[in-house]
Structure 1
């Protein structure tokens, strides 16, 4: 939406000089959500923002960031407010390790602005194109058992509300209850105009990638959760392969480990190239990377279970050939390629804490028990589940609206299922969409209540079935 606003010809406005684009279609990154919006406003100053929100002329106005959310959380046909031009970094306090910025500042630009000061953000989600307002308001997260979702790094914030005045400045010392609600407020309490974010010292991470079986994961899980500052699992459905990606910071003064060159890219993608030549001989795989090869393979028959099993097996072999180590700055390590256009549904649920060592004979923690049952469900119902199913962890957030709301020592697991949209043919995209909705509904029917699943705010979908909608409202 911001890209659209930046190049739109503003032809209509309100009497305070804040202009809006003509009615036009705005689409999210995956092309899965679109809205025919009557007005898209793009204020350039906080004064324009305040006048717009407080004018009383609009029955509905929703702030939008980079329009990345899979569910189009910011989309509203009656009016949207782009924060893309309010993108300044206002102040860096090196002593407190804090940065004050406007809500439209993008994660990528903020990181580069902090670099000369020897600071960086505590954690990152998978991509860095988010605006800081949306990044915090939906409770985005990275991974690390002792690291909270990003809303917990907000130290102070300013929100503009329709009631008038210069806006509310909130912090843990000033209006603490409202502050907790507003940190992860999905824009419902007002438009976030400014944020002060707690940073950390810039640091390099040593990242390790390897594969394991589900049995090995269950045996080593408690050790790995404590051993690595950041860890995620990528489960490959219909296989016995789990990809583990884990990292720890280099300590000050520590020499970087010597990196041994791994298998060449051409060798790593061989299993996918071989399969593509079998199932789509007219497609030239030359110069295709891993993600492109997977898209081309899935395009052949994305909803055929047996075909998806073959694709997933080839992906598992790719990851077995990709084991290795790398060293880089944390922002380069923690951001990663999510693949092509896709549907994704991510849930969070509590899984205890890490304070007490679990006895060796203790039952499986809920995070791995959930994955065991989810994988069994996929096999039982022969779901054409694309890879990977990504599993990450955070500590609790003090924000009541966070899916990971809890005490600082609580542990929460986040699990995302996925289906790619490798085709431009609308009928085929619709079929994948319907299959994915059925996949997500089955997950909630089978496991939702048992594990107290809460959906990520940027990925929750409004139910259409009256009974499901009633249950969804009660849960929220």
Structure 2
């Protein structure tokens, strides 16, 4: 019987009266309470009582009920719950002798004055109401207040290019918290986009309705040294994972540029490092625990559900909220990094060899110069003598940029010359300071790029350190960025399309006189079996190149930032129009932008996605797992409108 029906029966018996029996036992007589109601009372309200007689359905000895009689729902029975005295030793303290004597001494309720009698009725109603309220799902939504901020907050991404004002901002600390949040979102059809460290340039995890910040679910759960695997909660940061692996002599195979990324966000957007034989991070996911609206909390792996597993590894936060991740690790190792300055001719000559001979390879192209910064990293072999490291003369290395800064100060009369900040300032910070004078003046940007080329000529040499120290790097301050991924042959047979892409890109910048700052970063990975990865391919030998264009935002002035934003989207649009289709290039999911996109552009984007990714399977899985669309936002709805259309219906 449901609680509402039970209390309907109980309330019908308000004429119940307390009386004294001949043995001093109190009798609660409910003339309108059926056996079914008593049955629920016996099973629920008296569940804590020890039962000695199986015939009384949970009632202790000394409490009689009509349960021994055959229930007859068509006939009301006069029943009594008698608090006997014969077996008081079996009763809990609540039903001890003192309590019974107190009840026995009470006058019948019917004989009390009306004000007192109705006060008692009111107290009974209030008690029942409170019990009902806290015994229903309503109370669970109230509990969510401890992990939910309801005041509107402003959430921004790292570059301050996107912001959201979620009405509900959840901060789960446990798996149970997360499960409640997802259930509540499903019941109320309230959007709850999962978000990590807020580093995605496009604000992929943002929503103005509801967001789930995973930062408090950051525990390291298991380190399996035999399998070389680590299981962590999705909110754990990459640098936390590194520290947890150190005592066990393990580390992650590869790293993106920023170690503050959370593991969940790292895999969901297909983040990557560099290395022709090393896949993106999502390929190293062995299994994952995901909280979904329709299937509850599920564990996905290659063995349990390979199709959904490969879709969900790079699922953009739409196939459930990732709660736990198991990652494949490698033995901890040191790397020797060599930085050299080359040019287009030399790169074209040595590119295949460099790809095959170096574990990690990265190019940094500087527009309007013939400088290509080549960074090669390889394991320090046992017994190998470390090469002489670079000299620590940061002030001398950034002198070229400081000279440009001082010259601009003299010409414009803004700021002060000298070396006030020179020694404490990193090169990227110094570059931002100089660019801020005229970030959209092509001639000024060209001068800054030449100063950067000089900086790198002074910065060649070797560096030795643990892999996580070497592979992360300072990618500059706030910026707009667009990074694309495209096939470039195989590791054994690179097809040189990656170098041709760069030749055309640099020529496009020159022809259009685009104020493109340096560097344009180029990296490589092998393929991923994750269906929605930009590097998705069933062959592990497939080679993919990643190229990122940028425009820095070195100012807080809103008008200047807006002008830079418009210039960047013109830059990105030119690259998109001239290079994406010829090279089969697709954007990194954390860098896809739908800003001010019109209907035709949106349709073009959707049709392109269908050519590269299993969109129908992806949308089908979304609908099955999240039929009410609680994991969507504007970007997801723009790229996958069928998903939104189905949930609206």
- How high is the TM-score relative to the length of structure 1? 0.94
d(CA) in 1 for partners of 2:402, 2:476: 17
Tell me which residue corresponds to 1:38: 167
**Change in CA separation of 1:260 and 1:118 when aligned onto 2, cut-off 3 Å:** closer
Q: Distance in 2 between matches of 1:260 and 1:192?
A: 42
For 2:390 and 2:428, locate their aligned partners in 1 and report how far apart those are by CA, in whole Å.
21
The runs of at least 4 consecutive aligned structure 1 residues that moved more than 4 Å come to: none
Displacement of 1:164 in angstroms is 4.5
Give the number of the structure whose residues are more often helix, by fraction.
2
Equivalent position SS for 2:154: strand
List gaps (5 residues or longer) in structure 2: 1-138, 610-649
**1:211 to partner: Cα distance:** 0.6
Say if 1:54 and 1:164, in contact at 8 Å, map to a contact too: no
Higher relative contact order (CA 8 A, sep 6+): 1
Give the aligned partner of residue 141 of structure 2.
14
Does 2:480 correspond to 1:343? yes
Quote the Cα distance in structure 1 between the aligned partners of 2:190 and 2:389: 60
Bigger CA radius of gyration: 2
Q: Partner of 1:6 in structure 2? A: none
Question: How big is the shift at 1:448?
Answer: 1.1
Q: Which of 254, 257, 267 matches 1:136? A: 267
**Alpha-carbon displacement from aligned partner over 1:261-281 (angstroms, at most 9, x marks no partner):** 437222211111111111123
Is 1:25 equivalent to 2:25 in the alignment? no
> Is the Cα–Cα contact under 8 Å of residues 66 and 129 in structure 1 kept in the other structure?
yes
Instruction: Give the counterpart of 1:326 among 452, 463, 467.
Output: 463
- Residue equivalent to 1:283: 416
State the alpha-carbon separation in 1 of the partners of residues 544 and 416 from structure 2: 43
Counterpart position of 2:120: none
Residue 196 of structure 1 is matched in structure 2 by 326
User: TM-score, normalization: structure 2?
Assistant: 0.69
Q: Which residues in structure 2 correspond to 1:144-183 (within 5 Å)?
A: 144-165=275-296, 167-183=297-313
Q: Does 1:270 align with 2:392?
A: no
Q: Does 1:72 align with 2:203?
A: yes
Partner of 1:473: 606
The number of equivalent residue pairs is 457
> What does the per-residue CA deviation read over 1:439-463, in whole Å, with 9 as the maximum and x for residues that have no partner?
0011000111101111001100015
Contact in 2 for aligned 1:263/1:321 (Cα 8 Å): no
Query: What is the CA-CA distance between 1:13 and the residue it aligns to?
Result: 9.0
Q: For residue 124 of structure 1, what is the aligned residue in structure 2?
A: 255
Matches within 5 A, 1:53-452: 53-55=182-184, 56-165=187-296, 167-251=297-381, 253-262=382-391, 264-281=393-410, 282-284=415-417, 285-286=419-420, 287=422, 288-356=425-493, 365-406=496-537, 407-452=539-584
SS of alignment partner, residue 195 of structure 1: strand
CA deviation string 1:188-241 (max 9, x = no partner): 110000110000000000000011011111110000001100000000011100
Separation in structure 1 between the aligned mates of residue 208 and residue 232 of structure 2, nearest angstrom? 28
Deviations 1:404-431 (A, max 9, x none): 1112110000000011000010000000
Q: Is the 8 A contact 1:138 1:186 kept in 2?
A: yes
- Determine if contact 1:157/1:196 at 8 Å carries over to the other structure: yes
Cα deviation, residue 260, structure 1: 4.3
RMSD of aligned Cα (Å): 1.4
What is the DSSP-based 3-state SS (H/G/I as helix, E as strand, rest coil) of the residue aligned with 1:133?
helix
